[in-house]
Amino acid sequence: MTTFQIVLVVVLLFAGMISFLELGLWLGRRNPGGTETGFSALSGAVFALMGLLLAFTFSGAGARYDAKRQLVVEESNDIGTAYLRIDLLPPARQQPLRESLRRYLDTRVAYYRNLGDANAAKAEMAQTEALQRDIWSQAIVACREGGSNTTNTLVLSSLNTMFDIATTRALATQMHPPGVVFVLLAVLPWICSLLAGYEAGDRSRSLLHRSEERRVGKECRSRW
């Protein structure tokens, strides 16, 4: 999502919460005393569900962030290993391969810088795949000229690992919570706002939501 889309979602969510809060206040004032028959238990359950949903969502987001950060380190190490093992190839083949690897690294950096622009990111990924094919072709020719099976295994395995981690990172960027979680994250705040407004309908307007148990407890303490 772009920055504009994120800001738009936040604004719509906040506006919806305010609207449902006002709707709850209006309904609560039309039905005074309607929160006396187990309403607090329902309200507490919904707020608890909202809290659990937020906790699990942020926990999963933190885990995915750590996994993606680890993949960044792995890819940089894999590219560095492949670059160093070019020294095992015939000298005439080393410089063209190094130039291709430098271009490959530039496209990988550009891809993640342009993730906010889907078209630009797609173009960079296409260029990455083209460079992968070119690097692999050059490495095959160089390995045939070298003739050493041990050298071929070291060079080709490092290149294969470098290509695989690129695919792994591309898939990791598409790992998100299920769509139903996003729906609940949008709907539950509105429901909580509606319940909070309804519960506060028989009281004076306040900037903070106070549950019925706190209000009753405060009244009891004032009487004592």
Q: DSSP letters along the chain, please?
A: --HHHHHHHHHHHHHHHHHHHHHHHHHHHHSTTTTSSSHHHHHHHHHHHHHHHHHHHHHHHHHHHHHHHHHHHHHHHHHHHHHHHGGGS-HHHHHHHHHHHHHHHHHHHHHHHTTTSHHHHHHHHHHHHHHHHHHHHHHHHHHHHH--HHHHHHHHHHHHHHHHHHHHHHHHTT----HHHHHHHHHHHHHHHHHHHHHTTTS---SS---HHHHHHHHHHHH-
- Which of the four pLDDT bands, split at 50, 70 and 90, describes residue 220? very low
Query: Can you give the pLDDT at residue 216?
Result: 46
What average pLDDT does this structure show over 112-139?
Answer: 90
pLDDT at 158 over 50: yes
Residue range 170-196: mean pLDDT, rounded? 86
Query: Percent of the chain having pLDDT more than 70?
Result: 85
Instruction: Please tell me the predicted confidence (pLDDT) of residue 7.
Output: 86
Mean pLDDT of the chain: 84
Looking at residue 71, what is its pLDDT?
Answer: 93
* pTM for the structure as a whole: 0.71
